[in-house]
Chain A
């Protein structure tokens, strides 16, 4: 039994210990799984084996006609589907097209991008089938156990009714899961793959696209122009995310505390102003600010009237000014959210703590740092993470404030652009899809690592339940 010298609450969560625990858990899981497989193969009977060869055969042998036929039907359907479409689609996934279309000669070529997409879809179908196959085996095995224990194989009607009752969750979650799979997972998977192709620029259909491995990532880090911009933009992005998250958070908290003071009458009235700012749709306020700060805009007009020169707030040379304005405008738009959040949390606070602190002699500042702050931060750590992520990927702010401004020294970007703005410029305006996809992956890795690291340490996760 060692005594760790530094013993705060998080000493036991040092990376080495943490990964050690993960490794042990994994080992135990693998051992358990191996044991299950061993047991399965020793104890499975002929019906179950039949189901392994032909889906649904075992169920039919147990006289579960409806279920057996359904499983058999799925297998047949899958084979037909694969033969007619799937096989080709998966082949196309690997080749990404072999025949280049030529409008002149009238040859209809292969559209690589569509082939990639269809290939992924085919993989999804394949995976879905494999899952159904295993479900079929598990089902037959369970029926075998039930019969061994003396129960009858389940009837189809009972199982169908069960879908509405005990297995209600399956029925309910089916549609949302499919929707998310097709419209969220599929695009993301597609883009991940695109990051490893050369799709973009001139290589767009009808040109054939091909796999290039890690080329795009190399370009990101090595190719002079791109790498240069990448690191500059990355640096600014991180700085921006950190600054804006903390400023928004503390300003919101401060505002909430201000409004919470006992001497403030008509709290709802004062709260209405920030809520107004929050309620107006984002792009409107952004464009409004853009116009406000433009060369011919009202602020400059006032300055000119009073004898000054027009300031290019968001102009080409206004690097730090533009960045500062970005943070300020973002605060204007986001502080109401954090304010409302903090207000809700503060109302849950235990006011006895303040009275005890007053008796102990703590002044207002001490009370804030020792009582209010820990409680609020503790309660909202998950929200902080999601705010960080959304600030990191805040597309609109600089898109509207500075338009598609590009500057020298940057490859299709400006000095206030975030990674996501750069992504947009590259993909939509210039068709550099594959590099864009590579950048997306980088953004993902960064944001996920940071948020997972904070999340895992937060107490919300330690209690192994989210938000409960």
Chain B
């Protein structure tokens, strides 16, 4: 403490200013690092020429909307509009069904005490430790048996059925609703079904939004499963479709990528509050 007082006031001010300056410099650097690749892709999508090699370093020589045009019009080989619609279908249906299942599961495990509860939680934890890839072959064979190959509903089925496995975050949220509210409702005479609909759901808006968003975004950008199950070009989702583009069509790839990235990015930004809420609900112990 004494040594501090010995330093002249000007020195303290300088230290503080340097600190602030350094902070902002770092922030700007971080910002650039994170934005640059995205920016590059955006610029690339506006490139006139299709190929990567004709670029002047990072920047395309000429700009035009051609790539976007060809993306939607040249559907002979790469039927982008169809892919987009496919992805929309799969993502929205998985979102609806998956959210419903996950919310119900998480609520039930959070609220009710029953004999199978602990074992169920432990088994789910252990199951989650298996590499996701492991079951792919089996899923493929299973789907062949059910005739669900090359069928979007096969994808939707798998995404939805697997959704309840990730119930921990939602459960963390439901754990924060005090038990006494449920007890008061019980004394008031509400059945469990009514309690869920009239009391839990209205209070769970943040976590429902988070769940819907994450279960929508996942199929949107997943490629392993669609690659495995979809065989026809026209049935592809955008993820698989874009991956099938060769390097010569880089601009088209960039355009397609940007086009599907934009909705997700916009959604994330609008709902950023819910995202943080959801992440910390599962991870932070109250």
Contacts and interface: CB of A to CB of B under 8 A. Distances in A.
Answer whether A and B are interacting partners.
yes
B261 A284 contact: yes
A406 interface: no
B131 A420 contact: yes
B284 A427 contact: no
Interface residues of B, number: 95
A283 B243 contact: yes
A20 interface: no
Interface in A331-366: 332, 336-337, 340-341, 343-345, 348, 361
A182 interface: yes
A273 B30 contact: yes
B165 A180 contact: yes
B268 A275 contact: yes
B198 to A, nearest CB: 14
Interface majority SS (helix, strand, loop, mixed), chain A: helix
A451 B95 CA distance: 29
B142 A186 contact: yes
Given A173-B105, A184-B165, A297 B52 contact: yes
Interface in B74-127: 101, 104-105, 107-108, 112, 114, 121, 124-127
B32 to A, nearest CB: 8
A292 B41 CA distance: 10
Consensus secondary structure, chain B interface: helix
A440 B134 contact: yes
A395 to B, nearest CB: 6
Contacts of B133: 393, 395, 420, 423-424, 440
Contacts of A148: none
A298 interface: yes
B221 A283 contact: yes
Given A190-B135, A273-B31, A380-B283, A183 B157 contact: yes
Interface in A163-206: 164-166, 168-169, 172-173, 175-176, 179-180, 182-188, 190-191, 194
Interface in B121-176: 121, 124-139, 141-142, 145, 157-158, 160-162, 164-165, 168, 171-172, 175
Nearest to B135: A187
A277 B224 contact: no
B121 A466 contact: yes
Contact of B142 (A117, A287, A389, A424): A117
Given A191-B134, A282-B221, A305-B57, A117 B145 contact: yes
Nearest to A466: B121
Given A180-B161, A284-B221, A440-B133, A278 B268 contact: yes
Contact of A279 (B41, B136, B162, B264): B264
Contact of A183 (B20, B162, B277, B283): B162
B40 interface: yes
A367 interface: no
Interface stretch (A11-19, A85-93, A255-263, A316-324): A255-263
A378 B193 CA distance: 36
A395 B1 CA distance: 54
A34 to B, nearest CB: 19
A35 to B, nearest CB: 18
Interface of A: 113-114, 117, 164-166, 168-169, 172-173, 175-176, 179-180, 182-188, 190-191, 194, 255, 258-259, 261, 263-264, 270-285, 287-289, 291-292, 294, 296-298, 301-302, 305, 332, 336-337, 340-341, 343-345, 348, 361, 379-380, 382-383, 389, 393, 395, 419-420, 423-424, 427-428, 433, 436-437, 440, 443-444, 447-448, 451, 460, 466-468
26 contacts: A164-B191, A173-B104, A187-B142, A261-B23, A273-B30, A273-B34, A276-B35, A279-B269, A281-B261, A283-B242, A287-B257, A296-B52, A298-B57, A302-B57, A332-B34, A343-B276, A344-B277, A393-B131, A395-B133, A419-B131, A423-B131, A424-B133, A427-B137, A466-B168, A467-B283, A468-B175
Q: Return the 7 tightest CB-CB contacts between A and B, nearest first.
A: A187-B135, A281-B221, A344-B280, A187-B138, A179-B161, A168-B192, A190-B138
Interface of B: 1, 19-20, 23-24, 26-27, 30-31, 33-35, 37-38, 40-41, 52-53, 55-59, 101, 104-105, 107-108, 112, 114, 121, 124-139, 141-142, 145, 157-158, 160-162, 164-165, 168, 171-172, 175, 191-193, 196, 217, 220-221, 223-224, 228, 239, 242-243, 247, 250, 253-254, 257, 260-261, 264-265, 268-269, 272, 275-277, 279-280, 282-285
